[in-house]
Amino acid sequence: MFASVIVDVPSKSVNQVFDYRIPSGMQDIIKVGHRVVVPFGRRTIQGYVMNIKDTADFDPSKIKPISRTLDIEPVLTEEMIVIAKYLAEYYVDQYISVIETILPAALKANYKKIIRAAGDDGEAAQALRNLGISGDIETSRLTADQLSVLRPHFKSGELVEETVISQHTRKKTALGVYSLKVPEPNLGRAKKQIELLERIDMSSEPILLGTLQEEGYSNGMVNTLYKKGLIDKVDVEIERDPYSGRIFEYDKPKVLNGEQRRAYEEITQSMDEKSAETFLLHGITGSGKTEVYLQVIQKALNEGRTAIMLVPEIALTPQMVNRFKMRFGDDVAVLHSGLSPGEKYDEWRKIKEGRARVSVGARSSVFAPFENVGVIIIDEEHETTYKQSDRPMYHAAEVAKFRSRRHGCPLILGTATPSLETYARSEKGVYRRLELTERAGTKILPEIRIVDMSEQHRAGNTSVISTPLHEAITDRLEKGEQTVLLLNRRGYSNFQICQSCGHVPMCPNCDISLTYHKSNSSLLCHYCGYESRVTRQCDNCSSEDVTFRGTGTEKVEEILRDMFETDVVRMDNDTTRRKGMHEKLLNHFEKDEIPILLGTQMIAKGLDYPKVTLVGVLNADTMLNLPDFRANEKTFQLLTQVSGRAGRHELSGEVIFQTYNPTHYAIELATHNDYRNFYEKEMAFRRMARYSPFYFHVLFTVSSEDVRKCLGATSHIHETLAGAMSEQSIIVGPSPSPIERINRQHRFQILLKYKREPALLELLNELDAEYHEKYKKEGISLKIDVNPLVIM
What's the CA gap between 524 and 573, in Å, rounded? Answer: 13
What's the CA gap between 664 and 670, in Å, rounded? Answer: 10
- Across the strands, what pairs with 495? 549
What's the CA gap between 199 and 212, in Å, rounded? Answer: 9
What's the CA gap between 758 and 423, in Å, rounded? Answer: 26
Q: Please enumerate, by residue number, every residue annotated as part of a binding site for Zn(2+).
A: 498, 501, 507, 510, 525, 528, 538, 541
According to DSSP, the β-strands at 432-436 and 546-549 are: unpaired
Q: Please enumerate, by residue number, every residue annotated as part of a binding site.
A: 498, 501, 507, 510, 525, 528, 538, 541
SS (H, E, C) 52-89: EECCCCCCHHHCCECCEECCCCCCCCHHHHHHHHHHHH
Asked if the peptide bond before residue 734 counts as cis, ω within 30 degrees of 0, the response is yes
Q: Which of 772, 776, 774, 773 is nearest to 784 (CA)?
A: 772
Question: What is the signed CA dihedral for 113, 115, 119, 120, rounded to 10 degrees?
Answer: -120
What's the CA gap between 353 and 239, in Å, rounded? Answer: 13
Q: DSSP secondary-structure letter at 25?
A: G
- For 505, the enclosing helix (H) or strand (E) is none
According to DSSP, the β-strands at 654-659 and 447-452 are: parallel
The residues, ordered by sequence, that sit 6+ positions from 666 with a Cβ below 8 Å of its Cβ are 624, 632, 633, 635, 636, 639, 678
The residues, ordered by sequence, that sit 6+ positions from 711 with a Cβ below 8 Å of its Cβ are 734, 748
Q: What is the arrangement of strands in the sheet containing 696-704, beginning at the earlier edge strand?
A: 730-742, 745-754, 696-704, 781-786
- For 284, the enclosing helix (H) or strand (E) is none
Inter-helix orientation angle 420-427/675-689, to 10°? 100
Angle among Cα 724, 729, 734 to the nearest 5 degrees reads 80
Q: How far is CA 660 from CA 452, 462, 652, in A?
A: 6, 13, 27
643: left (phi over 0), alpha (psi -120 to 50) or beta: alpha
According to DSSP, the β-strands at 159-167 and 109-117 are: antiparallel
284-319 in b/e form (b: 16+ CB < 10 A) is: bbbbbbbbbbbbbbebbbeeebbbbbbbbbbbbbbb
What's the CA gap between 378 and 264, in Å, rounded? Answer: 16
Contact by Cβ (8 Å): 525, 531:
yes
The residues, ordered by sequence, that sit 6+ positions from 180 with a Cβ below 8 Å of its Cβ are 229, 230, 231, 232
Contact by Cβ (8 Å): 380, 417:
no
According to DSSP, the β-strands at 531-533 and 411-415 are: unpaired
- Count CA atoms closer than 13 A to 743's CA, side-chain side: 5
Q: Whats the size of the chain, residue-wise?
A: 792
Q: Which of 301, 307, 304, 276 is nearest to 370 (CA)?
A: 307
What's the CA gap between 473 and 435, in Å, rounded? Answer: 34
Q: Is the dihedral of CA 60, 65, 71, 76 positive or negative?
A: negative
